[in-house]
Structure 1
Amino acid sequence: MENKTFPQSPAVAETTVLTSQIFLNHWQGHRGLTRRVIEAFPEDKLFTYSIGGMRPFGQLVIEMLTMAGPGVRGLAHGKWDSFEDVEKKLRGATTKAALLKLWDESTDEINEYWPQITSERFQEIEKVFGQYEGPVYWAAMYFMDNEIHHRGQGYVYLRGLGIEPPPFWDRH
């Protein structure tokens, strides 16, 4: 995430396209799909299989987990652990079961802290994980975009392993 200048968004005076709850529901739909991609991965390939020099999917999941729950907690309260410290704590997860457990805990953390982000807070500028500065809404979108991007890599890996991934449109 590079530092960019962001146009000021109107403070929700115009027509609201998405509510905070609609955004959360949409993201949780993506998280459910990503969870199914993790489930589809063979245990013995989760942290070893790679194509074209990309990181193994297990490492990508650790990155997604580093951003998700801790990121939403940071967006809610403006208190951040470093990205590296959070990631270091998660690296001990070396099995599919451990990743899925962390995924579910992360989902619970998102559900707990998301409602604490006020509509005004979404417009505030925040230095995410002490590194990336931008509006809170932008950081939330980045967390979801990053997950979608890495899940796409997981799809490539599954297909490379001869496994049909879950339908990308099924985000229930």
Structure 2
Amino acid sequence: MTQELVSTKAVITPQEMLDHWQGHRKLTRRVIEAFPEKDLFNFSVAGMRPFSELALEMISMGMPGIDGILTGKWSTDFSFYENGKGPQTKAELLALWDELTEKLNRLWPQIPIERFHEVDLAFGRWEGTIQFTLFYFVDNEIHHRGQGYVYLRALGIEPPPFWDRA
């Protein structure tokens, strides 16, 4: 049995989606800030990557990702952070984080509403609707932020409340 769409009203608006994502980004930024400088780049548990590398993964998806979402042209060049080319200090990492925050806020309003339901091949690898790709970006961030919480607790540091995304 199929169900027909009764209403064209959205469950969540594009602005609400951006606010949701940016709320997660604010919380992840506070996690980055909570790390001592050396531990941000060097501490890990059970062979997992240091949190700086996890944060760079999030940035590396978001920076070219917003361009791909907007234009349909997906860069596969991640050399800006690979092979030790990324930020070397917490301040540099946070500056890059903030640069992405500004870029998302600037470009987001330019995304046509119908684009969110279009199927695209993100980064030349992952096929799905744009909204699926956005959910993946947020899910990936939540996953890695959880690793950051484990790292902070292992370091004896109380992480920021997970529910506070303001």
Shift of 1:84: 3.2
Residues 108/11 of structure 1: CA separation in 2 closer, same or farther (3 Å cut): farther
After the TM superposition, which residues 44-83 of structure 1 pair with which residues of structure 2 at under 5 Å, given as runs?
44-83=38-77
Look up the match of 1:147. Answer: 141
Out of 156, 159, 165, which is 2:153 matched to?
Answer: 159
Out of 13, 27, 50, which is 1:19 matched to?
Answer: 13
Q: 3-state DSSP class of the match of 2:93? A: helix
CA distance, structure 2, for counterparts of residue 26 and residue 154 of structure 1: 20
TM-score normalised to structure 2 length: 0.91
* Contact kept? 2:44, 2:151, Cα under 8 Å: yes
1:32 aligns with 2:26: yes
Residues 50-91 of structure 1: per-residue CA shift (max 9 Å, x gap): 111211101001100001132112101111210533543983
Out of 71, 78, 86, which is 1:84 matched to?
Answer: 78
Residues 91/144 of structure 1: CA separation in 2 closer, same or farther (3 Å cut): farther
Residues 43/18 of structure 1: CA separation in 2 closer, same or farther (3 Å cut): same
Shift of 1:13: 5.0
CA distance, structure 1, for counterparts of residue 20 and residue 83 of structure 2: 28
- Structure 1 runs of 4+ aligned residues shifted over 6 Å read none
Look up the match of 1:122. Answer: 116
RMSD value, Cα: 2.0
Residues 41/33 of structure 1: CA separation in 2 closer, same or farther (3 Å cut): same
Shift of 1:12: 10
Unaligned runs of 5+ in 1: 1-9
TM-score normalised to structure 1 length: 0.88
- The number of aligned residues is 163
* Contact kept? 2:121, 2:128, Cα under 8 Å: yes
Residues 105-164 of structure 1: per-residue CA shift (max 9 Å, x gap): 000111111112212111111111111111111001111111111111000000000000
CA distance, structure 1, for counterparts of residue 147 and residue 85 of structure 2: 19
Shift of 1:37: 0.3
Residues 116/160 of structure 1: CA separation in 2 closer, same or farther (3 Å cut): same
Bigger mean CA offset, 70-79 vs 154-163: 70-79
Look up the match of 2:89. Answer: 95
